[in-house]
């Protein structure tokens, strides 16, 4: 199956859904564009412009752990291992499981955030709406798990909603559009001229890890790329940005400007 270039643009540039692991599907005339990567200073500016709260904490995880936005929003309490500074992603893109790094800088903010989330969960349970969505196999095997704290979303929605499949009223996870809007608003408030999105933070995680000496195979595992060539794009980003080439204008003995 061949993907049209316009369809690829729609998914990756408009909907911000990466098609980097599409397996047997082939891209038609795939443009050789490298991913947009922010500098560390640009990442700092973006975070500084984000208002404190769940959206900023989510953005921190996208950059600090290399998560996709959908993976961050679907995180459950039991998947955070503060003791080992690890974060577990179950049933990620392509149905894969993986473990990635949990930044030590986020230990405190996450604890404070989860304290608020737990209070909300306990209030929901008292009101009879504290059951979270669970995959069918788990829901059938562990009927009471839906109200257990460890199964709750790390980033629950601010509102209750009715599950269209079961009719149950429950608190789902936050919507991706809310985080995307917050990141766009923050980027617009900075001097960043690049197109900074949620997925740009994941690209930046990979590139900065490579800059710091992490080998490309480890990056592949952290990002859950099926193909190594997908991860190699970040090597190409580094090669392009640090190729040692200078302008002859800078070699003139006097400043011609």
Q: How far apart, in whole angstroms, are the C-alpha atoms of residue 129 and residue 123?
A: 9
Per residue in 176-219, pLDDT (tens digit) is 999 999 999 999 999 999 999 999 999 999 999 999 999 999 99
**What residues are annotated to the active site?**
68, 93, 199, 202, 225, 234
Which pLDDT score is estimated for 94? 64
Which pLDDT score is estimated for 28? 47
The residues, ordered by sequence, that sit 6+ positions from 222 with a Cβ below 8 Å of its Cβ are 66, 98, 100, 101, 206, 209
Which pLDDT score is estimated for 253? 80
CATH 1.10.443.10-classified regions of the chain: 35-118+174-240
Per residue in 16-58, pLDDT (tens digit) is 565 554 554 554 445 468 899 999 999 999 999 999 999 999 9
CATH annotation of 35-118+174-240: 1.10.443.10
Per residue in 64-106, pLDDT (tens digit) is 999 999 999 999 999 999 999 999 998 767 678 999 999 999 9
**pTM here?**
0.81
Which pLDDT score is estimated for 32? 63
**Cα–Cα nearest to 223, from 243, 202, 249:** 202
């Amino acid at each position: 199956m061949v993907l049209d270039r316009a369809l690829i643009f729609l998914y990756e540039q408009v909907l911000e859904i990466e098609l980097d692991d599409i397996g047997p599907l082939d891209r038609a005339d795939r443009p050789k564009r490298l991913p947009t990567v922010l500098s560390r200073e640009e990442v700092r500016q973006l975070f500084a412009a984000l208002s404190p709260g769940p959206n900023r904490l989510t953005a921190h995880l996208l950059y600090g752990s290399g998560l996709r936005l959908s993976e961050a929003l679907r995180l459950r309490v039991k998947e955070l291992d503060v003791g080992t500074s690890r974060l577990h992603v179950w049933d990620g893109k392509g149905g894969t499981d993986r473990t990635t790094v949990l930044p030590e800088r986020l230990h405190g903010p996450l604890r404070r955030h989860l304290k608020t989330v737990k209070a909300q969960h306990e209030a929901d349970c008292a009101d009879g709406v504290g059951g979270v969505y669970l995959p069918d196999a788990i829901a059938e095997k562990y009927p009471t798990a839906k109200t257990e704290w460890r199964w709750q979303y790390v980033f629950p929605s601010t509102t209750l909603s009715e599950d269209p499949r079961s009719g149950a009223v429950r608190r789902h996870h936050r919507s991706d559009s809310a985080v995307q809007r917050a990141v766009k608003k923050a980027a617009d408030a900075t001097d960043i001229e690049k197109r900074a999105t949620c997925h740009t933070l994941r690209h930046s995680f990979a590139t900065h890890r490579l800059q710091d000496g992490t080998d490309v195979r480890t990056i592949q595992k952290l990002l859950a790329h099926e193909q190594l060539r997908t991860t190699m794009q970040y090597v190409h980003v580094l090669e392009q940005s640090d190729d040692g080439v200078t302008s002859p204008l800078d070699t003139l003995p006097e400043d011609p400007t």
